[in-house]
């Protein structure tokens, strides 16, 4: 099977239009006929790199070589014509079409195109040889996730793809389906295909891959043969040796329980069990941090706690009151504030002004409403105060869409803090913020804690969770892998838990 370089990427840089530097010079190679793992936390640059390789986005600098000659992709179509294909985490299938119609899609016209019968025969032959069990005539919407994925893979194989990029392919699968997929990958490898397996799951990476490249913060840490590493060293490479506790904070002094979650189960939008029986407490004066790679159920957990998603079972108590059957408004009235993960799509209303956004969720409070009419003067007064106190660089009348990301988050934070909550749920509160805005938000959360409020902090930025929290839990596939005080956690232990390895509590 060894060993010609199939694809090489050299010194790839990517700076997004908003100035985010996603890749800072990555050089690596994929050998023909290997399964190559790409491992890293959120924001490490894995997806950006793969989307560049698939022609979806253009690199800011660097080059790509296939079998030694340079290529330049303007679109995924170019990539496919160079025999590179990608299966996305969220499948790109037409759910009202059958499996075969999806495979055919885009092949039906053009000069010298094969007939349907020919394509069907070759697809069937491929599927049989590789053990890709697909019912060609079943509608995709009726298929389980694993079968949909096999349709995606077959779709690429019919297009003669040699390099398959699988982006987090096991995240939507059941354990049995995962087993199946790993077998298929092995067979594909025996056929001489190259597979890039993007993941954050350490065990899967170790068992399925020949070599593993670990990325962190837009750079390659190293490429290692999987035989020469173990879970612990991979975890260390992934997380790095950051200074984990540099935020100064006073001694912890917990009071009564403000939030009590027990055996909570919640489903994702696609009906998968995303939160699988989680229990924890947040007390007065405590920052309870939940770390973990995004997409492991944190979003669903937060939404179930804030009333935006139905809990399937289990209970959530805010200040002793059961809230799983209450509406978001009733939950806010119990003293809960929420800094949502997706601030643009949930936290603000972009076309409305700063003052109207600072009113969001408070519109029916007597302070701002009198006999169904908005008290305009109070709203303006409130906006001026918050703009000053939270240093929002805008006037009360500017539409929020004209603000920078950092200022938009300041608007959200200002509004949520102005509710004078007992308990604040902050989800990815500093993602995409510049340093000063980040410091500001973290400072405000610590201030809440020191005022003996409760804080539930959910963040995929490890540094943040470790630095701010009094208690840390690591979430993986809908469960907590461990709950500890941050001082007691070694960085490789966190890495292990993030990669799905349970650590003794």
Candidate segments 76-84, 249-257, 327-335, 493-501, binder of other proteins by CB under 8 A: 327-335
Which residue, 354 or 497, is less far from other proteins as judged by CB?
354
**In the complex, minimum distance from the CB of residue 253 to other proteins, in angstroms, rounded to a whole number:** 32
Which residue, 47 or 226, is less far from other proteins as judged by CB?
47
> Counting beta carbons within 10 angstroms of the beta carbon of residue 371, is it exposed (0 to 12), middle (13 to 18) or buried (19 or more)?
exposed
Q: How far is CA 424 from CA 10, 152, 413, 436, 458, in A?
A: 45, 41, 10, 21, 11
**In the complex, minimum distance from the CB of residue 215 to other proteins, in angstroms, rounded to a whole number:** 11
Which residue, 110 or 351, is less far from other proteins as judged by CB?
351
Q: Indicate the Cα dihedral angle 353, 354, 356, 361, nearest 10°.
A: 140
Q: Nearest CA to 249 among 495, 498, 487?
A: 487
Question: Does 173 help bind other proteins (rule: CB under 8 A)?
Answer: no
Binding residues for other proteins, how many (CB under 8 A)?
A: 46
**In the complex, minimum distance from the CB of residue 35 to other proteins, in angstroms, rounded to a whole number:** 22
What does the alpha-carbon distance between residue 443 and residue 432 come to, in Å, rounded to a whole number? 17
Question: Does 48 help bind other proteins (rule: CB under 8 A)?
Answer: yes
Q: Nearest CA to 303 among 323, 283, 281?
A: 323
Q: Please report, for the chain, how many H helices and E strands are present, in that order.
A: 16, 22
Among 139, 254, 361, 490, binds other proteins (CB under 8 A): 361
Which residue, 20 or 252, is less far from other proteins as judged by CB?
20
The answer to whether 400 touches 411, Cβ cutoff 8 Å, is: yes
Among 76, 277, 314, 328, binds other proteins (CB under 8 A): 328
Q: Nearest CA to 238 among 220, 225, 263?
A: 220
Binding mask 293-322 for other proteins (x = CB under 8 A): -------------x-x--------------
What does the alpha-carbon distance between residue 195 and residue 210 come to, in Å, rounded to a whole number? 10
Which residue, 240 or 361, is less far from other proteins as judged by CB?
361
Helical segments of 71-130, H only? 76-81, 99-104, 116-130
Please give the angle made by the CA atoms of 110, 165 and 162, to the nearest 5 degrees: 55
Which residue, 283 or 410, is less far from other proteins as judged by CB?
410
The answer to whether 196 touches 163, Cβ cutoff 8 Å, is: yes
> Counting beta carbons within 10 angstroms of the beta carbon of residue 78, is it exposed (0 to 12), middle (13 to 18) or buried (19 or more)?
middle
Among 243, 251, 372, 435, binds other proteins (CB under 8 A): 372
Q: Nearest CA to 87 among 7, 142, 148?
A: 148
Candidate segments 39-47, 64-72, 254-262, 273-281, binder of other proteins by CB under 8 A: 39-47
Among 27, 364, 402, 436, binds other proteins (CB under 8 A): 364
What does the alpha-carbon distance between residue 268 and residue 256 come to, in Å, rounded to a whole number? 31
Cβ count near 313 (within 10 Å):
10
Which residue, 212 or 336, is less far from other proteins as judged by CB?
336
> N- to C-terminal Cα distance for the chain?
43
Among 152, 168, 300, 356, binds other proteins (CB under 8 A): 356
**In the complex, minimum distance from the CB of residue 370 to other proteins, in angstroms, rounded to a whole number:** 9
Question: Does 359 help bind other proteins (rule: CB under 8 A)?
Answer: yes
Among 191, 263, 376, 389, binds other proteins (CB under 8 A): 376
Please give the angle made by the CA atoms of 491, 492 and 495, to the nearest 5 degrees: 95
Cβ count near 178 (within 10 Å):
18
The answer to whether 314 touches 261, Cβ cutoff 8 Å, is: yes
**In the complex, minimum distance from the CB of residue 374 to other proteins, in angstroms, rounded to a whole number:** 6
Candidate segments 2-10, 140-148, 366-374, 417-425, binder of other proteins by CB under 8 A: 366-374
Site for other proteins in 118-157 (CB under 8 A): none
Please give the angle made by the CA atoms of 249, 255 and 258, to the nearest 5 degrees: 100
**In the complex, minimum distance from the CB of residue 369 to other proteins, in angstroms, rounded to a whole number:** 5
Question: Does 432 help bind other proteins (rule: CB under 8 A)?
Answer: yes
Which residue, 28 or 44, is less far from other proteins as judged by CB?
44
Among 65, 173, 265, 360, binds other proteins (CB under 8 A): 360
Site for other proteins in 331-350 (CB under 8 A): 332, 338, 340, 345-350
Question: Does 73 help bind other proteins (rule: CB under 8 A)?
Answer: no
What does the alpha-carbon distance between residue 461 and residue 294 come to, in Å, rounded to a whole number? 9
Among 107, 224, 374, 503, binds other proteins (CB under 8 A): 374
Among 33, 43, 478, 499, binds other proteins (CB under 8 A): 43
What does the alpha-carbon distance between residue 415 and residue 411 come to, in Å, rounded to a whole number? 6
Question: Does 47 help bind other proteins (rule: CB under 8 A)?
Answer: yes
What does the alpha-carbon distance between residue 29 and residue 27 come to, in Å, rounded to a whole number? 7
Site for other proteins in 10-29 (CB under 8 A): 16-18, 20, 22
Residue 336 in 3-state DSSP? strand
Candidate segments 225-233, 354-362, 453-461, 466-474, binder of other proteins by CB under 8 A: 354-362
Contacting residues toward other proteins, per CB under 8 A: 16-18, 20, 22, 42-43, 45-48, 57, 306, 308, 327-329, 332, 338, 340, 345-353, 355-356, 359-361, 363-364, 368-369, 372-374, 376, 379, 397, 399, 432
């Amino acid at each position: 099977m060894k060993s010609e370089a199939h694809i090489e990427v050299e010194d790839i840089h990517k700076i997004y239009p908003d100035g985010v530097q996603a890749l800072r010079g990555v050089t690596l190679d994929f050998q023909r006929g290997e399964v190559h793992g790409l491992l890293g936390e959120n924001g490490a640059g894995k997806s950006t790199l793969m989307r560049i390789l698939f022609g979806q986005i253009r690199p800011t600098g660097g080059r790509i070589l296939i079998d030694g000659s340079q290529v330049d992709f303007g679109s995924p179509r170019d990539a496919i014509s160079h025999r590179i294909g990608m299966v996305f985490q969220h499948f790109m299938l037409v759910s009202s079409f059958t499996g075969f119609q999806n495979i055919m899609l885009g092949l039906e016209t053009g000069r010298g195109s094969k007939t349907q019968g020919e394509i069907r025969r070759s697809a069937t032959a491929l599927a049989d040889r590789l053990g890709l069990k697909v019912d060609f005539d079943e509608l995709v919407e009726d298929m389980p996730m694993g079968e949909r994925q096999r349709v995606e893979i077959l779709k690429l194989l019919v297009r003669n793809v040699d390099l398959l990029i699988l982006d987090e392919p096991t995240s939507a699968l059941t354990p049995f389906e995962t087993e199946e997929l790993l077998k298929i990958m092995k067979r594909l490898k025996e056929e001489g295909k190259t597979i890039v397996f993007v993941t954050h799951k350490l065990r899967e990476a170790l068992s399925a891959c020949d070599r593993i490249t670990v990325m962190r913060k837009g750079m390659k840490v190293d490429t290692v043969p999987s035989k020469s590493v173990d879970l612990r060293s991979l975890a260390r490479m992934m997380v790095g040796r950051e200074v984990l506790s540099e935020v100064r904070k006073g001694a912890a002094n917990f009071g009564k329980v403000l939030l009590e979650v027990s055996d909570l189960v919640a489903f994702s939008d696609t009906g998968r069990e995303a939160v699988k029986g989680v229990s924890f407490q947040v007390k007065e004066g405590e920052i309870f941090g939940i770390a973990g790679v995004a997409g492991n159920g944190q979003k669903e957990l937060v939404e179930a706690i804030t009333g935006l998603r139905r809990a399937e079972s289990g209970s959530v108590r805010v200040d002793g009151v059961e809230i799983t059957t209450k509406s978001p408004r009733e939950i806010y009235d119990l003293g809960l504030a929420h800094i949502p993960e997706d601030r643009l799509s949930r936290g603000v209303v972009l076309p409305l002004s700063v003052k109207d956004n600072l009113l969001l969720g408070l519109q029916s409070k007597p302070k701002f409403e009198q006999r169904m009419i908005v008290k305009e003067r109070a709203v303006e007064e409130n906006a001026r105060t918050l703009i000053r106190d939270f240093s929002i660089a805008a006037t009360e009348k500017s539409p929020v869409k004209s603000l920078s990301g950092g200022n938009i988050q300041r608007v959200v934070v200002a509004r949520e803090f102005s509710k004078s909550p007992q308990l604040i749920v902050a989800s990815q509160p500093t993602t995409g913020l510049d340093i000063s805005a980040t410091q500001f938000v973290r400072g405000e959360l610590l201030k809440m804690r020191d005022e003996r409020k409760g804080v539930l902090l959910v963040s995929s930025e490890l540094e943040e969770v470790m630095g701010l929290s009094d208690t840390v839990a690591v979430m993986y596939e809908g469960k907590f892998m461990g709950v500890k005080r941050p001082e007691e956690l070694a960085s490789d232990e966190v890495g292990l838990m993030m990669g799905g390895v349970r650590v003794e509590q």
